Amino acid sequence: MGFGNKWIRWVDTCLRSASMSILVNGSPSEEFGLERGIRQGDPLSSFLFILAAEGLNAIVSEAMEKGIFRGVVVGDNNVLVPHLQYTDDTIFFGYWDKDNAKSLMCILKCFEEASGLKVNYNKSKINAIGVNDEEMTEMKRWGVG
């Protein structure tokens, strides 16, 4: 994304030097370092999420340009919508077929490899509009949903 080494060191220092203490009977405990992540409410959190979300957006965009993933077209102006992101949730919209579903799974695996983040597939689910139960069951047999 073109960030300079100095900027990267600043962010790395913010993440690695984070420490906190907790109140025990009204008195602060000794400080301890955070094992991973950043403090809740840290302004850096939103910015880092945007960077990760933009990475996923770039992967989806490239997959669509190459015809690997097909999003859906909505509205009178034929707006192409492959996905929406809000907070830490992402919703994908795509055509209902085996190749598109498998492409989406590849996109998610690529994102995991590139970002070091993990998609929680146990919290993920697939929904369909205008699809019968038999097709839904078949999609689950493909390893999606």
- Mark whether 103 and 62 lie in a shared domain: yes
Structural contact between residues 75 and 52, judged by C-beta atoms closer than 8 angstroms: no
Backbone angles phi and psi of 106, in degrees to 5: -65, -40
Beta carbons within 8 Å of 108's beta carbon, 6+ residues apart: 119
Higher pLDDT, 46 or 25: 25
Structural contact between residues 117 and 123, judged by C-beta atoms closer than 8 angstroms: no
- Mark whether 102 and 32 lie in a shared domain: no
Name the domain count of the chain. 2
- Mark whether 29 and 90 lie in a shared domain: no
Higher pLDDT, 96 or 37: 96
pLDDT score recorded for residue 64 = 93
In which band, very low, low, confident or very high, does the pLDDT at 51 lie, cut at 50, 70 and 90?
Answer: confident
- Mark whether 5 and 61 lie in a shared domain: no
Does 39 score more than 70 pLDDT?
no
- Mark whether 72 and 53 lie in a shared domain: yes
In which band, very low, low, confident or very high, does the pLDDT at 71 lie, cut at 50, 70 and 90?
Answer: very high
- Mark whether 11 and 82 lie in a shared domain: no
3-class state of residue 127 by DSSP: coil
Question: Residue 30: which domain range?
Answer: 1-39
Taking the CA atoms of 29, 41, 121 and 125 in sequence, report the sign of the dihedral they define.
Answer: positive
pLDDT score recorded for residue 37 = 64
Task: Tell me, yes or no, if the pTM score tops 0.95.
Answer: no
Quickly count: other Cβ atoms within 10 Å of residue 109's Cβ.
Answer: 11
pLDDT score recorded for residue 27 = 87
Does 60 score more than 90 pLDDT?
yes
74 bridge partner residues: 79
Does 40 score more than 80 pLDDT?
no
- Mark whether 126 and 95 lie in a shared domain: yes
Query: Nearest 5°: CA angle at 111, between 107 and 112?
Result: 120
Segment 11-29 shows an average pLDDT of 79
